[in-house]
């Protein structure tokens, strides 16, 4: 009886060991978070802010917040990438002001209002380059009006567009759709329709672009 019990327990232990090994092997085969293909929440349309080569094989979409310290830190890297690759990529920016940044929404509205007069990317630059001038103000409107004047915008129209329900709704829709797709931080980047881990340097960004370009080559 003792021998049978020992054999039974030994068989039980072997089975458990095999199950554990199987689970470990299985987990090693699963893609990590960085390898999981998370698709772009919505297709790119004419309502998106686009720059670069419209026929490029590589498309980069950034969900960003103008007051976000990480986005402000990424800004010079993104600009360096664009300057080096503007003929071979197209770049899109989508609004994603985070609720913990009190001035992020007004800044997004300023960018959208400037865009209504053809100066989105100009305002984009001013907002990121001069974040320390406005990102802790109780009301940054006067600073944004100053940027509008600097860009030779119609100030009356700029203020009206900043405060319009259309502008507010566009931004709200961008946040709602992005949140539903799992975006919970900024900046969040997509290359050729799929979310990527944020590159840690210019070189990593360029490598990601080159990889995307080679994977779409005929």
Kindly state the helix (H) or strand (E) to which residue 155 belongs, with its residue range.
Answer: helix 155-162
Map out the domains of the chain as residue ranges: 2-30, 49-215
Q: Which residues contact 7 (CB under 8 A, 6 or more apart)?
A: none
Percentages of the chain per state (helix, strand, coil), in multiples of 5 = 55, 10, 35
User: Looking at the domain 49-215, which fold is it?
Assistant: Glutaredoxin (3.40.30)
Q: How far is Cα 56 from Cα 191, in angstroms, rounded to an integer?
A: 12
pTM here is: 0.82
End-to-end CA distance of the chain: 70
pLDDT digits (tens, 9 = 90+) for 184-212: 999 999 999 999 999 999 999 999 999 99
- The mean pLDDT of the chain is 86
Tokens of 67: 């007051």
pLDDT of residue 26: 31
Query: Taking a C-beta distance cutoff of 8 angstroms, is the pair 183, 96 a contact?
Result: yes
183 or 28: whose pLDDT is higher?
183
């Amino acid at each position: 009886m003792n021998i049978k019990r020992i054999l039974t327990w030994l068989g039980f232990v072997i089975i458990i060991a095999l199950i554990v090994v199987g689970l470990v092997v299985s987990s090693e085969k699963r893609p990590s978070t960085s390898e999981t293909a998370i698709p772009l929440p919505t297709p790119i349309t004419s309502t998106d802010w686009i720059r670069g080569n419209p026929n490029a094989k590589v498309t980069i979409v950034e969900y960003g917040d103008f007051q976000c310290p990480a986005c402000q830190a990424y800004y010079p890297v993104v600009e360096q990438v664009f300057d080096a690759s503007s003929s071979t990529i197209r770049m899109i920016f989508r609004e994603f002001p985070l609720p913990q940044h009190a001035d992020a929404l007004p800044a997004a509205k300023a960018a959208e209002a400037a865009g209504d007069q053809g100066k989105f990317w100009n305002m984009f630059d001013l907002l990121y380059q001069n974040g320390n001038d406005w990102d802790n103000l109780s009301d940054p409107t006067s600073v944004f009006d100053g940027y509008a004047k600097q860009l030779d915008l119609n100030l009356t129209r700029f203020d009206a567009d900043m405060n319009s329900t259309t502008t507010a709704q566009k931004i709200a829709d961008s946040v709602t759709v992005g949140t539903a797709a799992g975006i919970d931080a900024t900046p969040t980047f997509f290359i050729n329709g799929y979310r990527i881990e944020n590159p840690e340097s210019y070189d990593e960004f360029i490598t990601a672009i080159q990889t995307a370009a080679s994977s779409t080559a005929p």
